[in-house]
Amino acid sequence: MAEPAFTITVDAQGAIAMLTDAAEGLPDILLAQLADVSELTVDAEKEHAPVGVGGEDGLKGSIHYELVPETLSSAVLPSVPYAAPVEYGSKPHWAPIEPLKAWAELKGMNPYALRWSIAQKGTKPHPYVQPTAEDMAPIIGGTFAEGIAKYIEEFDLVSV
């Protein structure tokens, strides 16, 4: 009596041909996934960003992504000039009074006292980019791995 068994066959020539064909369509798949994870990252960064006087029209509202199809890359970034000092803090400096007025009013502070404090102590960091990067890294990696695996599954190479 024969041993119970089944045969698994991989079409090696088919795999080589599939990978050649897949290489042609892969940039479009990757670009679509890049846009998807970039949008997810924008949403996550907006969640991490502190709410300032501008609310959704301030720092949070300025966070967006810029896709570069030629290099299959994306930058998630804010477009307000004060984004870096919010993320990293700042050394003592003489801040312009006009941008401080609305924030000081919202906090019930004297804007000139606030400016004096910044001139003496600088500002504390309120990180929102780094925590987003840490949270999103596994999600981004997993999304690309799943997408590529799904794309390759479309090429039926293994028969049982």
- Tens-place pLDDT, residues 41-57: 999 999 999 887 677 77
- Alpha-carbon distances, residue 147 vs 15, 28, 34, 126, 144 (angstroms): 18, 12, 11, 34, 5
* pLDDT score at 26: 79
* pLDDT score at 46: 94
* pLDDT score at 125: 95
* pLDDT score at 69: 92
* pLDDT score at 159: 56
* pLDDT score at 44: 96
Where helices occur in 49-156 by DSSP H, the ranges are 59-62, 83-88, 97-107, 111-121, 129-153
Torsion 48-57-90-115 (CA) sign: negative
Q: What is the mean pLDDT of each run of 10 residues along the chain (160 residues)?
A: 74 79 79 93 94 78 93 92 92 91 87 94 94 93 85 65
* pLDDT score at 56: 75
* pLDDT score at 30: 87
The percent of the chain in helix, strand and coil, each rounded to the nearest 5, is 60, 10, 30
